[in-house]
Structure 1
């Protein structure tokens, strides 16, 4: 049976996250000091896990979040299919009241099933998931990789979890996320189960400071 364990994380904090600036697939930002601390804490807790492979998006914030594992010698592959959704003309600018209203209306329509509705100048959830599926298929086809670490992005993670767990895309917002949160999933050979949901136990030392 082609069983597999997947550790799926969102990237650590960037200055754009902190300042409320839209990132998306077109903004290649670095982790800030907090994001680097989050990445270090995740590494400290999970460095003993024998990961066979790391998969990330092609964006720096995703790669930097797992760089310590890469430096430890774990092989890595980067895929644009794991990049964040393309937020179109709003990428790289601070969220205005108008942008915020547009976003909430868009998410409402997605939640009602209009998942082929694209962001102005960007992607729809259907388009996002269509580029994710070949990456997931590749990961699942590699039977020798029993334990895998994947690092990606918030909206992309929601669509990816919906894909893995056979949820309709309109329900993707059921999957919460925060910077450097963890979903731990088991693949039985024909379906996924979730062992940990948006887990941030590894970040507890930051709360205690």
Structure 2
């Protein structure tokens, strides 16, 4: 059995300011989140994970470096372009309440009905596109590093959509899980070409 660990990046200034933070922009980690990333690394160190797959966006790069600062074993970080966050087109960086006010139906579908979400008018990314690249990242890593535990460090929506899809959820239910907290840990098991959920959104290590 192969264990797949998934961590969301630390909380950023844009997260705090309630702004859209997708695949085209970044903002700095908060000081508390840097400490939380170190706590996450201290927990993950005990698993001896040697292969880390991460988004190349700065908030994830910084989180990954803080996590691995606690590792007492050799490891390699692989930055994968296709593991970036959901693309929001012209809404990147926007104040989220403004997005909801100007596009109420679209915003509702973004959160609750991914099967009806259509971002083409503002050059955003579809859930189908996100799921394709997210699941590809995971399955290719499994092929590259068979029988090894893996750590994926990424983003909220990318991780949620990817894991939900790998677990067989329909598109309309792809966001039915509890939203992922920053520096939370989720774990899938992979065995006999099948995925199962071990844990979702663990945050006890941050206390």
Question: 5 Å matches for 1:1-209?
Answer: 3-71=1-69, 72=71, 73-96=74-97, 98-101=98-101, 105-106=105-106, 108-109=108-109, 111-112=112-113, 114-115=115-116, 117-118=118-119, 120-144=122-146, 146-176=148-178, 177-204=180-207
Conserved? CA contact 2:54–2:78, under 8 Å: yes
Secondary structure of the residue aligned to 1:174 is coil
- Could you list the runs of 5+ residues in structure 2 that have no partner in the other structure? none
* Distance in 1 of aligned mates of 2:99 and 2:198: 35
**Deviation digits for residues 4-55 of structure 1 (CA, Å, limit 9, x no counterpart):** 1011111110011011111100112231202101101111222121102000
Query: Structure 1, unaligned stretches of length 5 or more?
Result: 205-209
More deviation, 115-124/83-92: 115-124
Distance change in 2, residues 1:173/1:144 (3 Å):
closer
Q: TM-score, normalised by structure 2?
A: 0.87
Secondary structure of 2:175's aligned partner:
helix
TM-score scaled by structure 1?
Answer: 0.86
Contact 1:115 1:124 in 2 (8 A): no
Secondary structure of the 1:67 match is helix
Aligned residues: 201
Deviates more, 1:33-42 or 1:59-68: 59-68
Cα distance in 1 between the residues matched to 2:202 and 2:196: 15
How large is the RMSD of aligned CA atoms in angstroms? 2.1
Q: CA deviation at 1:137?
A: 2.2
Q: Distance in 2 between matches of 1:159 and 1:78?
A: 19
* Conservation of the 8 A alpha-carbon contact between 2:115 and 2:171: no
Distance 1:18 1:167 in 2: 30
Deviates more, 1:118-127 or 1:6-15: 118-127
| Whole-Å separation in 2 of the counterparts to 1:37 and 1:124 | 34
- Assess, with a 3 A threshold, how the Cα gap between structure 1 residues 104 and 80 changes in structure 2: closer, same or farther: farther
Question: Partners in 1 of 2:66 and 2:192 — Cα distance?
Answer: 30
Contact 1:116 1:126 in 2 (8 A): no
Q: Distance between the aligned counterparts of 1:112 and 1:61, measured in 2?
A: 27
Which whole-Å CA distance do the structure 1 matches of 2:50 and 2:59 have between them?
21
